[in-house]
Amino acid sequence: MNNYPFAGAALQDNGSCKFSVWAPFREDVKLSVIKPWQKEYPMIKDELGYWHVSVPDVLPGLQYKYLLDDDFLLPDPASRYQPEGVHGPSVVVDTRYKWNDKNWKGIPLAEMVIYELHTGTFTQQGNFKGMISRLGHLRSIGINAIELLPVAQFPGTRNWGYDGVYPFAVQYSYGGVEGLKDLVDAAHQHGIAVILDVVYNHLGPEGNYFSQYGPWFTDKFRTPWGTAINFDDAWCDGVRAYFIQNALMWLEEFHIDGLRLDAVHAIWDCGARHFLEELSAAVDHLPKQKILIGEVDYNSPRYITTREKNGYGLHAQWIDEFHHALHSLLTGERNGYYADFGGLEPLAKSFRDSYVFTGQYSSSRKRYFGISPRQHDYHQFVVFAQNHDQVGNRMLGERLSTLITFEAQKLAAAVILLSPHVPLLFMGEEYGEKNPFQYFTDHSDPMLIEAVSKGRKAEFASFAWEGEVPEPQAESTFNNSVLSWDISVVIMELYRFLIDFRRTRAAMKNTARESVQVSTVEELLIVQRGGTVLLLFNFSDKPVIYQHTDHTTLLKKFDSASVSWNGPGETALSEVTAGSSISLQPLSAIVYETA
């Protein structure tokens, strides 16, 4: 499959199974078969610190652990299946699968409309089968890419996925290896690409036995989750190879179209060749084009600059600042990290430059922050009005639909979907879901449960929100977060219309920087795209007049105030010429196109 050292258990064509594990400091490692028989097999160590053994006559379902120096009996760090949870035995799986997507060509990044979802709360079934049942709904709206929150094995059955401790194992309660492949295969047949969220900046606390195997972590750096993963210290080659092998597994074996890399700013690597650069090179050498999207807290285009220009070579990055600017403008919130936002100008800045901070002083960060990314086209940036972080990391997990008016909801939808950036929707957003998305866990360690609960409460101190923090460990917190599927048809049809408009207009598909002009007049945001489309966004709670001074004739294509969208009624002309006045209703969006 690739040239990186293999780790894990792999069935061979001759009926045997090859087992390999990286444990460079151990003096003795044995494979301990638990079922269907009980036997220990001595393993042989190679010069890179990998231990190997081949066992004949192995069938899928064999359970095993590794015995380290006759002292620790532990699951496989590269386990492919953990049906008894993070502390249980690892299980050999059959990776063969009959795919039906041979004609799948993928979706170009610039054309994607991404839909972020969490497997456990997207449907009542809480698994991949439940997702498959809703693919037709998503495709009918125009969604052509789904982004799954992490599916690597985590403790228990309720978790966002960022506490995963077996990056190669598909969460057993979601449907395991076969279930995920069924989902990807079905999505491709619906014309939907699949992006998987992966976590390479930390490993979850419960079931984390990596340190018993070797130098997986380094004290050189700290992350919000503790000591950093060892990407650049002594013995880091085995760690780097492990995560690159993991990425390639998802992209090749599972036919996944791209990876969203969680918090890449917390991947600490001061080596000559950054881990992300090595990863992107490995991915770009695959026979089919795949995409890498980084979540980056730094306003640095280095992450998405090509390797030839001394960048890391990721293909796109999330832009939290676009969200912060829009959210603060619509809700009036100015606490926590929203202190840097408020008013129309930050949103206009993000329309122009993607980042809001391109070198200015940030009051929340207490320093000058960011540089301009204008050498990169808009489609290298993913924007959103909601996502799992921005909803779930509110104290009560409120969705935007419960914080703003119906007219403001429609305005927010238009801003995201008519932006030149790649839009991302959060599950349920397309029909006005009201249920919250809260933080939930299913740990078994009492001390960890208490620490998570206390940490969650301390996290919201700077926001001064009122109310009680939902208990993460309570099953009710998880149940509250499951989608209701109580659909607002008007909202859903509005999303469908806007996505179709985005997809069918040449001006809307042009993501070059020079194709977009942005200006403001008081609380009116004016965006011209490709010389043929005029977007007007009124963020005032009062009517606003816009004077059309250009000599072109414009025809109105969309007005969120229309009674057809359950609005107060249109006041803007259907056709305007030079000198015409365009009257916008409060909190409304209008789209004009040249005649």
Residue 548 is assigned to a ligand binding site: no
Of residues 117, 108, 183, 179, the one with CA closest to residue 146: 117
Residue 321 is assigned to a ligand binding site: yes
Residue 322 is assigned to a ligand binding site: yes
Selecting among 232, 295, 333, 429, the annotated active-site residue is 295
Residue with tokens 């409120």: 398
Residue 263 is assigned to a ligand binding site: yes
In terms of C-beta density within 10 A (0-12 exposed, 13-18 middle, 19 or more buried), how is residue 190 classed?
Answer: middle
Residue 273 is assigned to a ligand binding site: no
| Beta-bridge partners for 525 | 520, 537
Residue 318 CA to residue 336 CA, distance in Å, equals 20
Residue 389 is assigned to a ligand binding site: yes
Decide: 145 and 382 in contact? Cβ < 8 Å: no
Decide: 64 and 19 in contact? Cβ < 8 Å: yes
Considering Cα of 319, then 527, then 430, then 289, what sign does the dihedral take?
A: negative
Helix (H) or strand (E) holding 40, with range, is strand 39-42
In the residue annotation, 295 being an active-site residue is answered as yes
Decide: 288 and 138 in contact? Cβ < 8 Å: no
Residue with tokens 């049942």: 133
In terms of C-beta density within 10 A (0-12 exposed, 13-18 middle, 19 or more buried), how is residue 83 classed?
Answer: middle
Decide: 508 and 529 in contact? Cβ < 8 Å: yes
Give the count of beta carbons closer than 10 Å to the beta carbon of residue 47: 6
Residue 29 is assigned to a ligand binding site: no
Decide: 41 and 30 in contact? Cβ < 8 Å: yes
Residue 264 is assigned to a ligand binding site: yes
13 contact partners, CB below 8 Å, separation of at least 6: none
Residue 391 is assigned to a ligand binding site: yes
380 contact partners, CB below 8 Å, separation of at least 6: 109, 304, 315, 316, 317, 373
Residue 388 is assigned to a ligand binding site: yes
In the residue annotation, 262 being an active-site residue is answered as yes
Decide: 518 and 477 in contact? Cβ < 8 Å: no
Selecting among 262, 333, 377, 593, the annotated active-site residue is 262
In terms of C-beta density within 10 A (0-12 exposed, 13-18 middle, 19 or more buried), how is residue 508 classed?
Answer: buried
SS3 call for 291: strand
What's the token pair of residue 70?
A: 């006759």
Residue 392 is assigned to a ligand binding site: yes
- Cα–Cα distances in angstroms (integers) from residue 122 to residues 115, 118, 148, 395, in the given order: 11, 6, 10, 21
Cis bond before residue 36 (omega within 30° of 0): yes
Residue 327 CA to residue 522 CA, distance in Å, equals 18
What's the token pair of residue 549?
A: 């001074």
Decide: 382 and 549 in contact? Cβ < 8 Å: no
Q: Look at strands 193-198 and 258-261 and give their pairing.
A: parallel
Alpha-carbon 557 to chain mean position = 32
Q: Cα–Cα–Cα angle for 193, 198, 199, nearest 5°? A: 165
Concatenate the DSSP letters of all residues of 397-438 into one string.
Answer: ---GGGTS-HHHHHHHHHHHHTSSSEEEEETTGGGT--S---
Residue 402 CA to residue 426 CA, distance in Å, equals 14
Catalytic residues: 262, 295
Which parts are annotated binding residues? 260-265, 320-324, 388-393
Which parts are annotated binding residues for substrate? 260-265, 320-324, 388-393
